[in-house]
Every structure is written in structure tokens, then in C-alpha cells.
Amino acid sequence: MKESPNFKIRRLGKPTVSSPITSAYFMSDNKRVLYDPYLHPDSLRAAGNTPLSIEVAGPRRTLYFDPAQTKAAIVTCGGLSPGINDVIRAVVMGLYYRYGVEKIVGIRYGFQGLVPEYGHAPVALTPEVVKDIHTLGGSILSSSRGSQDIATMVDTLCKMNINLFFCVGGDGTMRAAERIAEEIRSRGIEMGVIGIPKTIDNDLNLIDKTFGFDTAISMVVNAIQCAHVEAKGAPMGIGLVKIMGRESGHIVLNAALAQNDVNFALIPEVPFDLEGEKGLFRLLEKRLLERKHAVILVAEGAGQDLCAGSSLKRTDASGNIRLQDIGVYLKERIEEYFKETGLEINLKYIDPSYTIRSVPANASDSIYCELLGQFAVHAGMAGKTDLVVGLFKGEYVHLPLKSVASRKKVNTKGNLWMRVLEATGQPASMKN
């Protein structure tokens, strides 16, 4: 029998400090959202069960930390994503102006900044320092990948007299934050650890949307437009675009729907063949003969079984499998195939991945980042810890770090995938 998830949020202790916020809609811990909105709570109560629910985020009337005595730290980890600076700014502004916390530091170069041997000194963060950073891409604190010694990082946080530790990152960062919180708890230290989810691939478990995703879609749409123009601009033109998506195809699918010029959307969740009657080559050839051009959008993690090699056995500093370059592989194999068939093609290959990651957030993501930062501050000041602030079923909620430290996949039986099949015209399966 599958074990039910546990959404209980840990608290450092009873809050006793009156909030300095005078104009706010205070949220009660009893305000919750159903884990499964399709289950009516009355039916569960009739069966003697309590409906599984999740705590809603927001400012609390009483705090655990005295703002005048509180010191906070912020760290950004993993790959870059649009909106990181917006989150940093929101946390600093929320702590300083909403609560009066004046001691805020930024940890530089990810978790390396908590290991003294790297020599990355922390930086003071004030409203003056962060006031314009939302107009910049990347992270003003910089980032890094790879695990560091948990005990050493907690030692550093203690030496800095940190009370609140805000971690911005993806699933690997959330797992590390969970281990940091466990180490803090084992030492009996009163320090809150709050996660703010970041992955441009939008693949964190239980989180409706991660910041940077909307910006990525808008940027990918530009790349698709360019690929479409290039494809139509030459006889038998092919526009091939590779974008982010290590283990999931959320960006590919949403971009394909946003810019309805894609003919083949290739994602990690759906294996495909190159050769054979149902393979990509024959389908692409048929498309070219009928329409004289085609656009292919592929996620970086798609088709890894086709181009598997020794590099797949290696991992990066974060423990992620080093992917083969499916974009270059497809380009070379497509060109080889049509050379053998004698059909002359004009293929243009576009990889905008790093351009997309490093741009400033668009308006939608900027608003989202502001809210995530504010809700993270509210949670931390109330003494809540070992949690992630995120959007779940349209509500901003508190989720245990453990519950989100895994990736969500595209549901290949779901509505999103079916809509993309209709939009592209590609078959549901390209396996022989």
C-alpha cells in the first residue's frame, strides 16, 4: 500500500513576538488547501479519516524571531535561471521593510561560500544594494554546483550567527537544505531553513510552476520563430532547436503550444526511433515532401538512448548524468540520412539554452518571484523551518523540503501531451 505523503511543517518553537506588520491579512496555520481537490472532505470525515491538506503561506500575527535580534543569509545554487535576482531582492526588501531585519548577508558562489577553504567572503545585502538587481540576469551572489560537507556549512552558519537561512535552488539544493536542517536540528540550534524552488525546467514535485519557466517559454518562442523563418527560407529547409529539459519536456511542450510552428516535439519521457517506418527520419522526409519545410524542437535529455556513450556514465558536480548533445547528434544523423537518400536539405541548428538562462525575468516571473520571496520571509520569521514555499493548486503554500526534492515528469497520457500531438501533427509514438 502506498504511503500517504506527510505535509506537517516543523516549527522551531512557539511564536511569542507580535508582528510589526500593521496592514496585512494575517494567515492562520489552520488555513489549508486540500492535497486532492477532487476529494470532498465531508466524505473522508464520514469514513473516519482526516482529509490530507497543506498549510497555506502568508504573514502570521505572532513571530518566533525578534526582528531586532535576527540575522538572515541567502544562498543561490545550481544553474542560472531568470528571476534569481528578483527573489534575492524580494527577500531583502521583505525582511528589511516589513519586519525591520537589518542584518542580511548573501553567501557567494552557492554552498561553496559556506566552506572557508574556498575563500568566498559573504556580502552585506541592503535595500540600496538590491534595489535595481531585478533588471539584471543571473545572480548577484553567483552560484556553484556540487555537494559540500554539511557539518562544515552548519559550523559556518553558526559562526556567522545566522537565524534564518534562505536557499534558492532546484531539487539537489532542496535535498542539501534538508540535510542542513537535519544537522541544525541534531545540534539543538534555533535556525530556520527556508527553500525557494528554482528550476527552469519546471520539474519540481508538487510545485505548479517554478520561477524562470514563463521567461524561458517566451525566449524559446523567439528561437522557434527564427527556426521557422530559416526553414521556410530555403528549399527543403529544416529548423532544429535544442532547449533545456534534462529529465522532463515541460518547456518543449509549452513552447510548442505557444508558437504553433513546431512539427516534431521530442521529450525525454517519450522514446523515439530514427530509422524505420515509424522513425523520425521517414516522418521528417514525408513532411518535407509535402510542405517543403519542417521545425523540430528537442529537449536536451531526449533521445539519450540513441546517442548513448561513455560520457553517460559520468556525472557533473551536482551528481547529474552528463548528457550527450542530442541536438548536434540529430543534426549530423539527419544530414547523413538525407545525403544517403539523395534528397538535398537545408538544415539550420539553433541552441539558445544559455541565452535563455541568463536573461532577466519577464513580468510574469518577476511578480511570481516577488511573492515567493515575501512568503519565504513570512514563513521564516514565524519560526517555520525545513520547508519550501511554492505554488500548489493555485495557492501559495508551505511544503516540507522532503516532499519536493524529486522531479515531476510530463504525463504522456494527459491533456498537455495530447494537445501537443494535435498541434504538431506528429504521431503519438515514433517507435517501430
Reference 213, options 187, 224, 221; nearest CA is 221
- Whole-number Cα distances in Å, 14 to 53, 62, 382: 22, 9, 9
Can you state the angle between helices 150-159 and 171-186, rounded to 10 degrees? 70
Which one of the listed residues 36, 132, 155, 201 is annotated catalytic? Answer: 201
- Give the whole-angstrom CA distance, residue 261 versus residue 257: 9
Told to judge if 201 belongs to the known catalytic residues of this protein, a careful annotator would answer: yes
Concatenate the DSSP letters of all residues of 306-362 into one string. Answer: TS--GGGG-B-TTS-B----HHHHHHHHHHHHHHHHT---EEEEE--HHHHHTSPP-
Contacts of 310 (CB under 8 A, 6+ apart): none
Reference 296, options 324, 246, 322, 335; nearest CA is 335
* 133 beta partners: none
Q: How far is CA 39 from the centre of its chain?
A: 28
| Residues taking part in catalysis | 201
